[in-house]
């Protein structure tokens, strides 16, 4: 590796969202993978003085892995873009679109892809129209089973699957704990998949899909980050033709939303082989139990090599 050019890389991890601990774990894993190749990597927690520090330091590239609103709503990314220092991942505008699940779903629906029917409800709507009245109407318009989730956020925090009407009030309260808007969504039965889309400068491509089988039936926060609570199959146990359709759909949605470098597209494939879009993640988890590293390793590539390629693609402006 005599022609290897070591980079000065700043990994941003932490923040103040509900996903802080997961972000710190992701940051350490990224830093370890890049350091093992010979790069100089510094992990910084976004806080007062960060922008001044970056301006003085002028690293070759910034890798943000700040999960939650702190890093994924576009604000931090927009500020990073003003520094002139390249960063890995999507730009601020597309990140804002993907961060809002209702907006992302509407864009995907308009483009002709399947996504479960849903209603987005703000806390103000509940207050103004009366919670009891709204809940009664919801259950008439959208019979259970339903999925209730915060309209913004990740790691399945505040997400509940409702199999009977009695569970809806509690689910709405849980969702409002994490966001001011809750998404009440039709539950599509099928095979739950996560598809990592990577673009290192030659166009986006999908890695083998991960099939997610939670032992208790719900892919909750605990099931995501506690080893042994979920079974993963990579590649997913689906027919080759369906796998190709899933890959094409994930790449198309990545491009439709204007995402860059790396994303994770979450889908459910129903019994007819139709992939249904659930959400797009612009800063997906990169912990030891996260799905993206599993996809990368299943594709026969090392984490270090892929992370290195993404860092260099950012520098090249790809």
- What residues contact residue 83 under an 8 Å CB cut-off, 6+ apart? 51, 54, 55, 62
Which tens digits make up the pLDDT trace of 71-100? 889 999 999 999 999 999 999 999 999 999
| Cross-strand pairs, 114 | 276
- Once rounded to an integer, what is the mean pLDDT over residues 249-253? 98
pLDDT band (50, 70, 90) for residue 38: very high
- Contact, 34 vs 1, CB < 8 A? no
- What residues contact residue 21 under an 8 Å CB cut-off, 6+ apart? none
> What was the pLDDT predicted at 220?
54
Phi, psi for residue 163 in degrees, rounded to 5: -100, -15
Closest CA to 47 of 86, 84, 11, 12: 12
Which tens digits make up the pLDDT trace of 292-309? 998 999 899 999 999 999
How many other CB atoms are found less than 10 A from the CB of residue 6? 11
| Cross-strand pairs, 206 | 197
pLDDT band (50, 70, 90) for residue 36: very high
Q: How far apart are the first and last CA of the chain?
A: 24
Which tens digits make up the pLDDT trace of 252-293? 999 999 999 999 999 999 999 999 999 999 999 999 888 999
The Cα angle at residue 71 between residues 66 and 72, in degrees rounded to 5: 120
- What residues contact residue 92 under an 8 Å CB cut-off, 6+ apart? 74, 75, 77, 78, 81
How many other CB atoms are found less than 10 A from the CB of residue 270? 13
Closest CA to 85 of 317, 309, 283: 317
> What was the pLDDT predicted at 226?
57
- Once rounded to an integer, what is the mean pLDDT over residues 38-62? 94
- Contact, 119 vs 184, CB < 8 A? yes
> What was the pLDDT predicted at 4?
82
Is the pLDDT higher at 181 or at 19? 181
> What was the pLDDT predicted at 221?
55
> What was the pLDDT predicted at 1?
47
**Bridging pattern class, strands 8-12 and 61-64:** parallel
> What was the pLDDT predicted at 12?
97
């Amino acid at each position: 590796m005599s022609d290897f050019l070591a980079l000065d890389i700043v990994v941003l991890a932490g923040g103040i969202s509900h996903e802080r601990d997961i972000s710190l774990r992701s940051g350490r894993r990224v830093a370890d993978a890049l350091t093992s190749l010979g790069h100089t990597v510094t992990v910084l927690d976004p806080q007062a003085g960060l922008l001044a520090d970056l301006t003085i330091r002028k690293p070759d590239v910034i890798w943000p892995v700040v999960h939650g609103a702190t890093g994924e709503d576009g604000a931090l990314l927009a500020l990073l873009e003003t520094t002139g220092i390249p960063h890995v991942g999507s730009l601020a505008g597309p990140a804002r679109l993907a961060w809002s699940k209702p907006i992302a779903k509407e864009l995907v629906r308009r483009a002709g892809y399947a996504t479960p029917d849903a209603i987005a409800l703000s806390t103000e709507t509940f207050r103004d129209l009366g919670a009891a009245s709204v809940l009664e109407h919801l259950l008439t318009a959208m019979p259970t089973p339903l999925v209730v989730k915060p309209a913004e956020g990740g790691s399945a925090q505040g997400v509940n699957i409702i199999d009977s009407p009695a569970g809806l009030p509690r689910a709405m309260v849980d969702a409002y704990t994490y966001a001011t808007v809750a998404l009440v969504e039709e539950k599509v039965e099928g095979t739950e998949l996560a598809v990592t889309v990577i673009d290192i400068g030659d166009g986006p491509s999908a890695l083998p899909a991960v099939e997610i089988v939670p032992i208790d039936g719900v892919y909750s926060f605990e099931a995501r980050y506690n080893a042994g609570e979920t079974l993963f199959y990579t590649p997913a146990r689906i027919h080759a033709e369906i796998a190709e359709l899933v890959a094409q759909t994930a790449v198309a949605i990545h491009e439709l939303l204007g995402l860059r470098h790396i994303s994770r597209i979450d889908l459910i494939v129903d019994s007819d082989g139709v992939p249904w879009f659930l959400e797009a993640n612009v800063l997906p988890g990169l912990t030891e139990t996260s799905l993206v590293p599993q996809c990368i390793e299943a594709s026969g590539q090392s984490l270090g090599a892929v992370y290195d390629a993404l860092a260099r693609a950012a520098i090249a402006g790809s």
